[in-house]
Structure 1
Amino acid sequence: MAHLLGIDIGTSSTKSLISTTDGNILATATATHPISMPRPGFSEQNPHDWWNSTCQSVRSVMHKASISPESILAIGLSGQMHGSVFLNKNHEVLHPAILWNDQRTVTECDMIESIAGSKKKLIQAVGNPALPGFTAPKILWFRKHKPDLFEQTAKILLPKDYIRLRMTGTYATEVSDASGTLLFDVNNRKWDHAFMRKLHLDPSLFPDCAESHVVTAELSDTGAKELGLQSGISVVGGAADNAAAAVGNGVVQHGHLCSSIGTSGVMYAHSEVPEVDPHGRVHTMCSAVDGEWCIFGCMLSAGGAFQWFRNQLATFEFEQSKTLNQSIYTLLIEEACKIQPGSEGLFFLPYLAGERCPHMDPDARGCWIGLTQRHTRAHMIRSLLEGVTFGMNDMLQILRNMDISTEIIRLTGGGAKSNLWRQIQADIYNSPVTTINTSEGPAYGAVILAGVGADIWPDIQTACKAIVIEKEKLNPSSDRSVLYARYHNQYTKLYQALSSQFRSIEKI
């Protein structure tokens, strides 16, 4: 029997997934990798750590699935967007990768918009404004602050494409990930060489770009040995994590939307045409579906805020949960279930890493507002879940105001695993929400892309129709939706009132 392998290089870990050629998941395995924050606003990782976690997770999933390496037909890749991997001519990493949630490049963003002629002209050219998380500002920062290393740079890759290089020895990328660089003509699905030259960047720094399902290379002898696989396996283009998650959730046609709460929070709508928000509050990029697009927003700290809470304010319970072999998040959400909607007037602003959508504000900070002696830790947990979902709703409202169809909202990520958080989303979005038969997101999307590249399915839509099945539907409560609409309005006012103070804090 033939099998497909999907690999997702996330911010905190790499997940590998094996499925049969009819989409049945046999096993998954995860291996963690560290993140470094050497200064406030800085976020970096060592690309070698991605490769180590990839090798570990692939070997582990092969063991769990109990299949032979010869049965793997094709491999799909997914990965965190925007990260910059600087390589010399010998494929050696010159500097830690600068990540999607790094905020150091405000000056470079202003420079890019100035060179483009204006923010409006930049959006018209590449579909998006210049934001600190995107790739091009990082490259300009690196050139300015690390000139000796930039002089040695022969190629610049995105995270999953560095893993492709280690697997195959080939430089390549695909349209969905390239869309997040600010150096890609999203409308025409190709590198924008003219804009690169305006920024004095040599187009040869960037790899060839293909559609997401296209076979880009084959697994090399060296890569196969380290992964415990057989050489010669086809490796398809794959997709950026958001685009891959959309495929894994069957969000591949008009009217479908995905609400993904992972480390970041993403509200992702599929579109047959490249719709653009003239204000740049949400992003327009190429989807993994050939010749089609997506419009989405990304808040920088969603599930990441819950992870921060676990690490800083629930350390005892976290260690206890390991002993009891229970999920710490399940235990914390059980506390939150005791609290009524609205958390008795306690608000949480989830801007722990600055913010991207809808507020392009690297100086934004997280906070609880409204604390009283009556509030408990359970209130803080529930208000955190609500605050993150209010941020997700900000992006949903922008999409709705753009007349983007959101008939079906599918939930994925950590926010889809809890009954309480699923219901909070339905109530705040004031819309039915659904889950599907798998919660594996990007890794499953990578498997589907591998299957299309291997001609198991003729196209992505056919694949999703065959194997992605809706499982549960939750309807909103009209009373809670009315309550949350009032709370969301207040949440918005709190950010507006504090935004100038956030900037003052940054300057102290």
Structure 2
Amino acid sequence: MRFAGIDVGTTSVKGLVIDETGTVVAEAEASYPLSTPRPGWAEQDPEDWWRATQQVLAELRGAGGAPIDGIGLTGQMHGLVVLGADDEPLRPAILWNDGRSQPQCDAVEARVGVERLVALSGNRALAGFTAPKLVWLAENEPETFEKIRHVLLPKDYVRFRLTGERVTDVADASGTLLLDVGARAWSPELLEVFGADAAWLPRVVESPEVSGYTQDGVPVAAGAGDQAAGALGMGVVDEQGPASIVLGTSGVVFAARDQYAPDPEGRLHAFCHAVPGAWHVMGVELSAAGALRWLRDATGGAEFGTLTAEAARWEPGVEGLRFAPYLSGERTPHADANVRAAFLGLDLRHDRGALTRAVLEGVAQGLADGWDLIDPKPTIGRFSGGGARSALWTDIVAATLDVPLERTASEAGAAFGAALLGGVAAGAFATVQDAVAACVHPTARTEPDPDLAAAYAQQRASFRALYPALKAADGQA
């Protein structure tokens, strides 16, 4: 049997097909544009997602000759897709990285209180989330708001076009601020807070459940948001197992939880997991490998391998040079969209390699801000993302978090986890855990170097002092 995973991302739809051992037998990708009509805004045409999905599925079905027996969906979280009475989008989708609704978030937290909001939703009100976008729409485009008949997330719009069903899963729905995450159901109280009509919302189910069928009868699993699906693809399924640590454009620390236990201050996200009856906590660093990409572009465009080779010539700590990685603001633990990055401690001796090493270390320390909040801590991390391909950065992260880091045989990310869910929906595996046991295979392992870990532990205090110092310098303390 073969199972497809479809990942509706911010820049493209990525798809793959795996067999019952987890071997990737086909891959395809189709890209589309991102619109930024104003500073801080990010929008896309949902029809672009559907066209790309059709292209990817056609390529996957034509590869290898064997049929696809199940499909799982994943994709960018938090995006707002609003449909009218004719089931057509009323406007472009407002995406996860759109910050226009920050005033609405501030107003909601002031009215409801952070403690009550976190107790219900597991999270603070962030501009990236779905519900604040609805409030923005009501206040700024009331004529559009009045026409809303359905609200969908990005991958769920693709599901609707694929199966005709309006369904979402508990993991992706957790990022809307409309779900009672502990009860795994839409919250009447949150719906009232954000002015949403329950009739607009899709049916919410567990991630491996069959949500509908394609025209040719292939079952489509409910799926999950990209972080939960990606963690599933890394084998992160329960509290006793490994954590997922992602060093992509953003950085993520992700741990499964057997019980719903949100951080009272909302510093960590608390979402339903793609594993039925489980939850997860997650810390997000907004600029991770993206910070290294910025440095590369700002210093002449050298290859990443050249930059990290130059960084390796410097000792840990870079003679007091520190980098605060807040190029796009920060989410965990500060929830501050306005703070910005900085180098501190620059000296005439510091060269491009020193700047690079400081970025590698600053990003690792930013990951540690989230890791420090996870309790109990997993004893192993499964490491993925573009930054995980660097041996030096892997050593730095392992030492900073003081945890062994494992790689897995597949680096296909969220699409791989979605394909596992497709396998459960197709009946090849009885449970998500069975799918993971059959298909997720750890390979390389990096142990934290004790001397390096000790050096970075000594630097924690100086790194943690950067954020309040930057806020004070900006007059916001």
Counterpart of 2:116?
121
Aligned pair 1:415/2:387, yes or no?
yes
Q: Percent identity?
A: 41
Decide which of 300, 304, 309 is 2:290's aligned counterpart: 304
Task: Note closer, same or farther for the CA distance 1:455–1:502 as it changes in structure 2 (3 Å cut).
Answer: farther
- Does the Cα contact within 8 Å between 1:101 and 1:300 map onto a contact in 2? no
The residue aligned with 1:226 is none
Note the C-alpha offset of 1:77. Answer: 0.7
Counterpart-to-counterpart distance in 2, 1:200 and 1:376: 53
SS in 2 for 1:77: strand
The answer on whether the counterparts of 2:72 and 2:422 sit within 8 Å (CA) in structure 1 is yes
CA distance in 1, matches of 2:65, 2:472: 57
Tell me the alpha carbon deviations over residues 464-494 of structure 1, each in whole angstroms, 9 at most, x when there is no partner.
1222122122111121112112333212111
Measure, in 2, the Cα distance between the counterparts of 1:250 and 1:184. 25
Which letter maps to 1:137?
P
The 8 Å contact of residues 363 and 503 in structure 1, kept in 2 or not, is answered as no
Note if contact 1:269-1:404 (Cα within 8 Å) is conserved in structure 2. no
Number of residue-to-residue matches in the alignment: 476
Residue type of the partner of 1:34? Answer: P
Whether 1:339 aligns to 2:337 is no
Q: Cα deviations across residues 296-341 of structure 1 (Å, max 9, x unaligned)?
A: 11122222323334455444x4xxxxxxxxxx44444334333332
Q: Any residues of structure 2 matched to 1:269-418 within 5 Å, and which?
A: 269-315=255-301, 317=302, 328-399=303-374, 403-418=375-390
Q: Within the alignment, does 1:106 sit opposite 2:91 as a pair?
A: no
Is 1:494 the counterpart of 2:466? The answer is: yes
| Closer, same or farther: CA 24–421 of 1 in aligned 2, 3 Å | same
Query: Which residue is equivalent to 1:321?
Result: none
Question: Bigger shift: 348-357 or 184-193?
Answer: 348-357
Match of 1:479 among 451, 456, 460: 451
User: Residue type matched to 2:201 in 1?
Assistant: F
Residue type matched to 1:108 in 2?
Answer: Q
SS at match of 1:307: helix
Residue equivalent to 1:86? 82
Q: Which moved more, 1:182-191 or 1:332-341?
A: 332-341
The 8 Å contact of residues 20 and 438 in structure 2, kept in 1 or not, is answered as no
Q: Which amino acid letter does the alignment assign opposite residue 78 of structure 2?
A: H
Counterpart in the other structure of 2:237: 252
Partner of 1:224: none
Over 3 Å counting, the alpha-carbon distance change for 1:445 and 1:367 in structure 2 is same
Residues 100/216 of structure 1: CA separation in 2 closer, same or farther (3 Å cut): same
For normalisation by structure 2, the TM-score amounts to 0.94
Alpha carbons 2:259, 2:279 under 8 Å: kept: yes
Indicate how the Cα distance of structure 1 residues 274 and 352 shifts in structure 2: closer, same or farther if over 3 A, else same: same
Distance 1:373 1:52, change over 3 A: farther
From the superposition, tell whether residues 36 and 46 of structure 1 become closer, same or farther in structure 2 (CA, over 3 Å).
Answer: same
SS in 2 for 1:334: helix
Stretch moving more, 89-98 or 487-496:
89-98
After TM superposition, the structure 1 stretch with the greater mean CA deviation from structure 2, 329-338 or 185-194, is 329-338
Give, in whole Å, the separation in 2 of the partners of 1:428 and 1:363.
26
Letter in 2 for 1:171: R
Q: What are the residue-to-residue correspondences of 1:100-249 with 2, within 5 Å?
A: 100-116=96-112, 118-220=113-215, 231-249=216-234
Once superposed, which parts of structure 1, at least 4 consecutive aligned residues long, lie more than 6 Å away? none
Residue 504 of structure 1: how far off its partner (Å): 6.3
1:419 Cα offset (Å)? 1.3
Query: Deviation per CA, 1:411-439, whole angstroms, max 9, x where unpaired?
Result: 11123222112111111111211112211
The 1:481–1:188 alpha-carbon spacing in structure 2 relative to 1, beyond 3 Å, is same
Secondary structure, in 3 states, of the residue corresponding to 2:126?
coil
Give distance in 1, aligned partners of 2:279 and 2:68: 30
Structure 2 letter corresponding to 1:284: A
Match of 1:4 in 2: 3
Query: What residue identity is the alignment partner of 1:66?
Result: G
**C-alpha distance in 2 between matches for 1:397 and 1:32:** 37
After TM superposition, the score normalised by the length of structure 1 is 0.88
In 1: Cα distance, 2:437 partner to 2:110 partner: 45
Shift of 1:149: 1.4
2:73 is the counterpart of 1:77: yes
Higher mean alpha-carbon deviation, 20-29 vs 167-176, is at: 20-29
1:11–1:263 Cα contact (<8 Å) kept:
no
CA deviations over 1:261-306 (Å, ceiling 9, x no partner): 2222111000100111111100111101111111111122222323
Structure 2 stretches lacking a partner, 5+ long: none
CA distance in 1, matches of 2:307, 2:36: 26
Report Cα offsets for 1:9-31 as digits up to 9, x if no partner.
Answer: 22233211111123211132333
Instruction: Write 1 or 2 for the structure with the bigger share of helix.
Output: 1
Which amino acid in structure 2 is aligned with residue 396 of structure 1?
A: W
Q: Which whole-Å CA distance do the structure 2 matches of 1:165 and 1:188 have between them? A: 25
Letter in 2 for 1:170: E
Q: Which residue of 2 aligns with 1:32?
A: 31
After superposition, the Cα gap between the structure-2 partners of 1:67 and 1:304, relative to the gap in structure 1 and judged at 3 Å, is farther
Match of 1:481, SS?
A: helix
Q: Which stretch shifts more, 179-188 or 254-263?
A: 254-263
Alignment CA distance shift 1:343-1:166 (3 Å): farther
Equivalent position SS for 2:362: helix
Matched, 1:424 2:396: yes
- Determine which of 74, 92, 96 is the counterpart of 2:92: 96
Shift of residue 115 of structure 1? Answer: 4.2
CA shift digits 1:249-270 (9 cap, x unpaired): 0000123211112222111000
Contact 2:20 2:439 in 1 (8 A): no
8 Å contact 2:238–2:278 — kept in the other structure? no
Q: Which whole-Å CA distance do the structure 2 matches of 1:370 and 1:133 have between them?
A: 33
CA contact under 8 A between 2:311 and 2:354: conserved in structure 1?
yes
Aligned to 2:423: 451
> In the TM superposition, what is the alpha-carbon distance from 1:342 to its structure 2 partner?
2.3
